[in-house]
């Protein structure tokens, strides 16, 4: 059977009726009706039903088909036919046709599966098989089987199409895809670097890039003007459910532009990307400042799919007799709240007081929570008697209260505590009460971020990264109070409460960049060591420039509406940043560490029992580049003991205190019982067909000794 004639399973249609085809793939499912055999064959394009009939299929082919099992890899020749009326399967794209098999070739067999791969019912109305009961680590351990599942396969195909859309749109705008280095110098970008030791420059390290930030700015100085890259990035961050230690981001940078240009470009790009998943977004995207987002939703990643905006009522209680509010206001605090319209029936007094006020709100960082319910034109709660009519009327007007509404308020001396706790309550209540509309997508630009954040030590740190342009340049880098008032020319693209990406207009003036470094407490030596090459480029006419990076794994996951970004990555790490498939990260041999100069890094002494703990056989195996199987270890130990005895004997005869070692002449040695013979692969030439280079009839390798 010639596979070059192969047709794709998912592309067969009624128009192919009567055509003889060759199809190949994996056995997805099968049914045996007493000699009449039906098989679902799956390849990358979809599923086609095969029929093995005793009346039309040769007997020996039917017997071979009866031995098929799930995930056998097979090739079949047969005639495309329409299914009989009533036997169509609308659950698969080719459900109106089938292939009557005349030839069968088993290309490879499969062992029993660790979990079910098939997802399609063989008959109309049959329930599809789900993998929800399979643990994620088991799926990742056998990821190659998991990828065979149509839903996982479709995710990767759609990811590819979204990436192709990115390339198409940016190419039409004159952007050039440029690859930047994966091995670079460690620079501070907000997370820990993954470090790579250098063998040639021992005790020195490369860093895997957290982003191509410096290089893309250097490309702008180099005159590329419009650059993009689907870049692999690495961040050794604390674990979160939707984070990966390695990820893909769309990196964009352009010269001679401003924020408005980037807003328009990215909106067009995002609209096209979401259209691949059948999602229509409306332009232009709304914009909200950082301060407004925090003040009204408690987050710089606001979810705007529903209302529940904060209402500030601090001024209503300037002269209140309620002691808790009075003390908070005297300490410069604030009071904010939410109106849950018409939710009184779903939030009883018991739920509000015992569940939210005593448990949920404190778990979100609030010291307490005040609630009121609107019934019969009045506000009711366990503390309403402490407020006068003017205060209660002010609440009704400020919150636009109607019967059936529920008010929730947080008061605290710290503004951040109020906004953070109320923001988390906002999301919790919206989810609990079903206030978030399904299949809705609300993108928003968040702008005017603070340039710096305060630290506990009384200094500042960059809110984004130290290359973000400030809103003004006439600031004193030593005045912390002034630094905290600066705003940045940064912007984040947020959708449904998730940050999809962010960027900024960059600093293109060396003096301003040096002021930022000084504000961050970097000395001249620090700057010279970490960024000397970068600042040197600023001496040669840098253009004004800016850019943005979109997290592609997160964006694709949102487009495809998957529960995790791991569902749109071919070989992801698990929630512990480990790979169940390969076992990474894993330990390495001491010899590998020695080659990299890492055994005594920083002048640390070797542990006194290191020699005793070292496995001699493993060491000899490593040095000789000859593998020693576990069952051969005892025999090798005997040989090494004998060698030690001979060395000691020679040393005594020579009057030495230590054993003498010398290089013996090179001779061919084989294990006992083996006979040397030329490999058949060597005779045919197959042995050397994959060699990177040859010398005569020999595989040429790099020199070990230099």
For 110-160, how does the pLDDT look when each residue is reduced to its tens digit (9 = 90+)? 999 999 999 988 776 665 665 568 899 999 999 999 999 999 999 999 999
CATH of domain 153-285+552-568: 3.30.930.10
Q: Are 455 and 461 in contact (CB under 8 A)?
A: yes
Helix and strand numbers (H, E) in the chain are 21, 24
Q: Give the tens place of pLDDT for each residue, 404-429.
A: 999 999 999 999 999 999 999 999 99
Residue 630: both structure tokens together: 């576990």
Fold observed for domain 3-108? OB fold (Dihydrolipoamide Acetyltransferase, E2P) (2.40.50)
Domain boundaries defined on the chain: 3-108, 153-285+552-568, 287-291+443-542, 306-432
Q: Are 242 and 564 in contact (CB under 8 A)?
A: yes
> 471: cis peptide before it, omega within 30°?
no
Q: Is 430 helix (H, G, I), strand (E, B) or coil?
A: helix
Q: Judge whether residue 499 has pLDDT over 80.
A: yes
Dump the DSSP string for 80-132: EEEPPTT---TTSTTTTEEEEEEEEEEEE-----SS----S-SSTTPPPP--T
Residue 644: both structure tokens together: 């030690």
Angle formed at CA 340 by CA 335 and CA 342, multiple of 5 degrees: 145
Dump the DSSP string for 352-391: IIIIIIIIIHHHTT-S--EEEEEETTEEE-TTGGGS-HHH
Q: Give the tens place of pLDDT for each residue, 324-363.
A: 999 999 999 999 999 999 999 999 999 999 999 999 999 9
For the chain, give the number of residues: 706
Q: Is 215 helix (H, G, I), strand (E, B) or coil?
A: helix
Q: Give the tens place of pLDDT for each residue, 642-697.
A: 888 887 777 676 666 666 556 666 676 666 776 777 777 777 777 776 666 666 66
Residue 187: both structure tokens together: 């620079």
Average confidence score pLDDT of the chain: 90
Half-sphere exposure of 310 (CA within 13 A, CB side): 30
> 288: cis peptide before it, omega within 30°?
no
pLDDT for 670 equals 67
Residue 99: both structure tokens together: 């292939």
In sequence order, what are the residues at sequence separation of 6 or more whose Cβ sits closer than 8 angstroms to the Cβ of residue 705?
none
pTM value? 0.82
pLDDT for 702 equals 54
State how far the alpha carbon of 504 is from the alpha carbons of 254, 262, 270, in Å. 11, 9, 17
CATH superfamily of 306-432: GAD-like domain (3.30.1360.30)
Q: Judge whether residue 458 has pLDDT over 70.
A: yes
Burial tier of 645 (Cβ tally within 10 Å: 0-12, 13-18, 19+): exposed
CA-nearest of 482, 474, 487 to 448 is 487
User: How is residue 508 annotated by DSSP?
Assistant: -
Pick 100 or 608 by higher pLDDT.
100
Residue 46: both structure tokens together: 């979809």
Q: Judge whether residue 391 has pLDDT over 60.
A: yes
Q: Are 249 and 552 in contact (CB under 8 A)?
A: yes
Q: Judge whether residue 199 has pLDDT over 60.
A: yes
132-153: b or e for each residue (b if 16 or more CB lie within 10 Å)?
Answer: eeeebeebbbbbebbebbbebb
CATH (one of 1.20.210.10, 3.30.930.10, 3.40.640.10, 1.20.1730.10) for 287-291+443-542: 3.30.930.10
**Mean pLDDT across the stretch 524-553?**
92
CA-nearest of 510, 472, 504 to 489 is 504
**Confidence class for position 529, pLDDT limits 50, 70, 90:** confident
pLDDT for 620 equals 80
Within this chain, domains 287-291+443-542 and 306-432 share the same CATH topology: no
**Confidence class for position 243, pLDDT limits 50, 70, 90:** confident
State how far the alpha carbon of 586 is from the alpha carbons of 136, 578, 579, 580, in Å. 20, 9, 10, 11
Q: Are 366 and 424 in contact (CB under 8 A)?
A: no
Q: Judge whether residue 602 has pLDDT over 70.
A: no
**Confidence class for position 704, pLDDT limits 50, 70, 90:** very low
| Residue the block writes with tokens 């020996």 | 60
Q: Judge whether residue 611 has pLDDT over 60.
A: no
Determine which of 100-114, 419-433, 528-542, 588-602 has the lowest per-residue pLDDT on average: 588-602
**Mean pLDDT across the stretch 240-254?**
91
What are the backbone angles phi and psi of residue 563, rounded to the nearest 5°? -70, -15
Calpha distance 185→173 (Å, rounded)? 32
């Amino acid at each position: 059977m010639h596979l070059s004639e192969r047709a794709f399973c998912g592309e067969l249609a009624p128009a192919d009726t009567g055509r003889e085809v060759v199809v190949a793939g994996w056995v997805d499912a099968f049914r045996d009706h007493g000699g009449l055999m039906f098989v679902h064959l799956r390849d990358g394009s979809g599923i086609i039903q095969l029929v093995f009939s005793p009346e039309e299929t040769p007997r020996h082919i039917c017997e071979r088909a009866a031995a098929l099992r799930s995930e056998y890899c097979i090739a079949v020749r047969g005639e495309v036919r329409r299914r009989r009326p009533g036997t169509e399967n609308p659950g698969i794209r080719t459900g109106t046709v089938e292939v009557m098999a005349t030839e069968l070739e088993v290309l490879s067999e499969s062992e029993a599966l660790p979990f079910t791969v098939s997802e399609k019912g063989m008959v109309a109305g049959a329930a599809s098989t789900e993998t929800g009961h399979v643990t994620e680590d088991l799926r990742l351990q056998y990821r190659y089987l998991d990828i065979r599942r149509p839903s996982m396969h479709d995710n990767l195909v759609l990811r590819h199409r979204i990436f192709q859309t990115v390339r198409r749109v940016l190419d039409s705008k004159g952007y050039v895809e440029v690859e930047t280095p994966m091995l670079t110098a460690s620079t501070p970008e907000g997370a820990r670097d993954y470090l790579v030791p250098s063998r040639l420059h021992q005790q020195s390290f490369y860093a895997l890039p957290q982003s191509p930030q410096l290089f893309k700015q250097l490309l702008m100085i180099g005159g590329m003007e419009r650059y993009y890259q689907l870049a692999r990035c690495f961040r050794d961050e604390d674990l979160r459910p939707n984070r990966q230690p390695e990820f893909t981001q769309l990196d964009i940078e352009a010269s001679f532009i401003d924020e408005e240009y980037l807003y328009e470009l990215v909106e067009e790009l995002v609209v096209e990307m979401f259209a691949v998943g059948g999602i229509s977004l409306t332009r232009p995207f709304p914009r909200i400042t950082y301060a407004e987002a925090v003040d009204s939703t408690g987050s710089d990643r606001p979810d705007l799919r529903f209302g529940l905006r904060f209402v500030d009522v601090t001024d209503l209680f300037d002269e209140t007799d309620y002691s808790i509010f009075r003390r908070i206001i005297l300490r410069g605090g604030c009071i904010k709240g939410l109106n849950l319209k018409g939710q009184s029936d779903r939030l009883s007094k018991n739920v509000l007081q015992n569940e939210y006020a005593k448990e949920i709100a404190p778990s979100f960082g609030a010291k307490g929570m005040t609630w009121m319910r609107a019934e019969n034109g009045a506000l009711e709660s366990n503390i309403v008697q402490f407020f006068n009519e003017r205060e209660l009327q002010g609440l009704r007007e400020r919150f636009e209260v109607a019967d059936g509404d529920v008010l929730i308020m947080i008061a605290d001396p710290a503004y951040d505590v109020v906004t953070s706790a109320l923001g988390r309550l906002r999301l919790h209540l919206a989810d609990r009460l079903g206030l978030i509309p399904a299949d809705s997508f609300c993108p928003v630009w968040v702008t005017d971020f603070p340039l710096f954040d305060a630290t506990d030590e009384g200094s500042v740190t960059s809110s984004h990264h130290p290359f973000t342009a400030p809103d003004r340049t006439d600031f004193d880098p030593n005045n912390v109070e002034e630094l905290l008032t600066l705003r940045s020319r940064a912007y984040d693209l947020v959708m449904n409460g998730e940050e999809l990406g962010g960027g900024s207009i960059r600093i293109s003036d060396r003096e301003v960049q040096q002021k930022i470094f000084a504000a961050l407490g970097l000395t001249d030596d620090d700057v010279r060591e970490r960024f000397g090459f970068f600042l040197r480029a600023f001496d040669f006419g840098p253009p004004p420039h800016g850019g943005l990076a979109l997290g592609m794994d997160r964006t694709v996951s949102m487009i495809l509406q998957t529960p995790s970004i791991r569902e749109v990555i071919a070989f992801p790490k698990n929630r512990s940043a480990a790979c169940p498939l390969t076992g990474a990260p894993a330990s390495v041999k001491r010899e590998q560490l020695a080659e990299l100069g890492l055994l005594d890094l920083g002048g640390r002494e070797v542990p006194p029992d290191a020699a005793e703990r070292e496995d001699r056989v493993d060491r000899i195996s490593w040095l000789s580049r000859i593998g020693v199987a576990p069952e051969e270890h005892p025999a090798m130990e005997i040989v090494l003991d004998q060698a030690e005895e001979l060395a000691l004997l020679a040393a005594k005869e020579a009057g030495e205190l230590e054993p003498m070692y010398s290089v013996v002449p090179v001779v061919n040695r084989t294990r006992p019982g083996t006979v040397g013979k030329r490999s058949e692969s060597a005779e045919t030439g197959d042995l050397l067909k994959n060699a990177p280079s040859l010398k005569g009839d020999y595989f040429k390798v790099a020199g070990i000794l230099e």
